[in-house]
Amino acid sequence: MSHNVTSSAREDPRIGHSRRVILRAALAEFAAHGYTGFRMESVAARAEVGRSTVYRHWPDKGALIADALAGLSRQPDPAHEDSAATARRRAHILLNHLAQALTDSPVSACVPALIHAAANDDAFRDRLHRFSAQRRQRLTATIAEGVASGEFPPTVDPEIASAALSGAVFYRALMTADAPDTDFVADLLDEVLGR
């Protein structure tokens, strides 16, 4: 969901600081007012910068929200961080990260606004779908590696399993009173991928 950053923004620490302040303000605005109530001018006021500063980095609210959300919750890379970890362990790490993001982070405050925006704005929905597919790609690849190595049954379809696992975590976080804790994630992996 990320909008490209100019190379000068990466080089000048003042611009980097400005961007971070604006992105935090954008998240607060998005969580408070949703997509339809989101105003670039309000973000500028929250960040205590001029509107032109906001528009210099982001052409529209969709791009600004996308960047703010993309930087909000960095996905772990368990294969890189622990190359000896099993596919099940890596999948557990990725799903725990998702569960944590949905229940105890600034992401959780933005979820209602994300759902509403995706339901009401085609361009935002397309951007969110691309972002979600990219985020799920690491889990899908991990499951595919587990199937290829024999750790998971050969009947497991990595794409379907990835969607089922992620969907169950979302459902548990948003539609029940029970948090998707690490025990739930372990049980879910057993049910979907086998013991």
Per-residue pLDDT at 15 exceeds 90: no
Indicate the residue among 70, 94, 109 that finishes a domain.
70
Do 92 and 22 fall into the same domain?
no
CA distances from 33 to 14, 38, 157 (A): 28, 6, 39
CA angle 129, 44, 128 (to 5 degrees): 0
Do 142 and 165 fall into the same domain?
yes
Do 63 and 126 fall into the same domain?
no
CB atoms within 10 A of CB 94: 26
Dihedral Cα 122, 127, 128, 131, nearest 10 deg = 160
Residue 49, domain extent: 7-70
Choice among 54-58, 62-66, 157-161 with the minimum mean pLDDT: 62-66
Which two structure tokens, joined as six digits, stand for 61?
A: 């609210």
Do 96 and 189 fall into the same domain?
yes
Across the range 46-64, mean pLDDT stands at: 94
d(CA 97, CA 109): 16
* Residue in 27, 54, 28, 21 with CA at minimum distance from that of residue 40: 54
Do 52 and 92 fall into the same domain?
no
pLDDT the model gives residue 65:
92
Across the range 105-131, mean pLDDT stands at: 88
Residue 23 belongs to some domain of the structure: yes
- Tell me: the pLDDT tens digits for 82-97? 778 999 999 999 999 9
Residue 2 belongs to some domain of the structure: no
CATH number for the domain spanning 14: value is 1.10.10.60
Per-residue pLDDT at 59 exceeds 80: yes
